[in-house]
Amino acid sequence: MSKNSYSSPGRSELYLKYHPKYSDDVARYVINYPKGELKENEKLDLMIEVGCGTGQATNVFAPFFKQVLATDVSPEQVRVAAKVTGFNHVTYSVTSAEDLPFEDSSEDLVLICLSAHLYDLPKFFAEAQRVLKPGGCIAVIGYAMKGVSRAEPGQPVHDVSQLYTDFIVAGSKEPTSLLHDDLYKYKKIFNLMPWSDKTRNDNFKIELEMESRELEDLEKSYGVYEIYERRYMEKIKNGENNVSKSIGLAEGLRKLVGVKYGDDIKLKLIYEVFVLTARVH
């Protein structure tokens, strides 16, 4: 069953502002996978995106389609996405990934970004198989933070793999086998994809600049923070002492680049993007 980690007011606005946006290169790679390279101004008919969040990927892929149906289990995410969309041919709705209200063999692409580990994958894959046209494509995309540096040219890049892993794990609801698979480039999920005609590409990166004073908001923008915050309040209510309200991502990033809380230093965050694609026959 799809999980909603964005129910608190304001969390989705933080997600929209602080999570990285995919590049056109990622979209073009996915679009060209099922059909070959599109001609200039050529568009595919219809795309479904599940787990659309606040529309970061939706708005990158939308120009390549005549119609886009973007869904998420979170009403708050859908509300924010619909508010900021710049495309008249994109429709947002609150829908479960495991029960898609769309016709059989109707879609050119089913897209899912950074949320596949939250779903009942056998049910979701069966739904993707049902709604895709013969020769259509499913694309499962994710990213993980890998490095941080000061934004000035020539600054050293510090590895944040373990820090990011600890951050994601600290806010987990339960240690399921797939919950942390985004940290490992969806290797388990790729193996679970039931189509023989599938491939992966780990060669994309995203660089995101922000001020060091914004790191707390970056931390709060993750769904795992909402879970951690509820645990924090429960511990305080139960009288526990010395409980940190921070998971440690913001503090850890500052230490790596040598800045203090309250400093206003521009930083660069580096994310590795992984793209899993499969063709349905």
Decide which of 218 and 166 is more confident. 218
Give the pLDDT score at 7. 58
The average pLDDT across 103-126 equals 94
Question: Poorest-confidence range of 200-204, 247-251, 269-273?
Answer: 247-251
Instruction: Read off the tokens for 201.
Output: 């590409």
50 pLDDT above the threshold of 60: yes
Band of residue 97 on the pLDDT scale cut at 50, 70, 90: very high
| Residue 180, number of CB atoms within 10 A of its CB | 15
For residues 195 and 185, the answer to whether their CB atoms sit within 8 Å is no
Band of residue 268 on the pLDDT scale cut at 50, 70, 90: very high
73 pLDDT above the threshold of 90: yes
Question: Distance between CA 148 and CA 207 in Å, rounded?
Answer: 9
Band of residue 104 on the pLDDT scale cut at 50, 70, 90: very high
- For the chain, the residue count is 281
Band of residue 3 on the pLDDT scale cut at 50, 70, 90: low
The average pLDDT across 70-98 equals 94
Per DSSP, what are the bridge partners of residue 145?
Answer: 271
**Which residues contact residue 125 at a Cβ distance below 8 angstroms, ignoring those fewer than 6 apart?**
138, 192, 193, 194
For residues 166 and 248, the answer to whether their CB atoms sit within 8 Å is yes
Give the pLDDT score at 33. 76
Question: What is the CATH code for 11-279?
Answer: 3.40.50.150
Decide which of 77 and 184 is more confident. 77
Domain ranges (residues) in the chain: 11-279
Mean pLDDT computed over every residue of the chain: 88
267: nearest Cα among 160, 113, 142:
160
156 pLDDT above the threshold of 80: yes
Decide which of 62 and 41 is more confident. 62
Count of alpha carbons within 13 Å of 183, Cβ hemisphere only? 15
